Amino acid sequence: QERLVESGGDSVQSGGSLRLSCAASGYSINSYYMGWVRQDPGTQREAVAVIDSDGTTQYAESVKGRFTISQNNAKNGLYLEMNNLKPEDSAMYYCAAVHRAIAMSINRAFGVIAQEGFGNWGQGTQVTVSS
């Protein structure tokens, strides 16, 4: 059974750091692009970062230079290191996966991973950044 379980969300002050983790069971990381998406109430879900099995990454412009996505293929673990957090980073963060047969490239994976019908997501972990 496929399952994505996130952890690591917390409340921090602006400028702080957090590390999110995702345990991906039932997924072969070699068959999926993995990533993180986020959603604030009243806004659309947006892609934050995506990683390919060879380590290639893509980030949203708003998080470049501050966030780092990584994965542990042997343990089916996915991580998001978040530094210099800003209040606008506050959101529910979801671990996400999109099958290679659907995305076919990391660019397309980044474009669709947050969309209904394309990406699979976990239950989310809340990140709150106060100013």
Please give the pLDDT value at position 36: 98
Tokens of 93: 């963060």
Tokens of 75: 């343990």
Please give the pLDDT value at position 92: 98
Q: Where are the beta strands (DSSP E) in 2-131?
A: 3-7, 11-13, 18-25, 32-39, 46-51, 57-59, 67-72, 77-82, 91-99, 120-121, 125-130
For the chain, list residues with pLDDT below 70: none
Q: CA 80 to CA 36: how far, in whole Å?
A: 8
Tokens of 59: 């980030």
Please give the pLDDT value at position 71: 93
pLDDT digits (tens, 9 = 90+) for 63-100: 999 999 999 877 789 999 999 999 999 999 999 999 99
Please give the pLDDT value at position 27: 84
Tokens of 114: 């947050």
Please give the pLDDT value at position 28: 79
Please give the pLDDT value at position 21: 98
Please give the pLDDT value at position 35: 96
Please give the pLDDT value at position 84: 98
Q: How many CB atoms lie within 10 A of CB 52?
A: 20
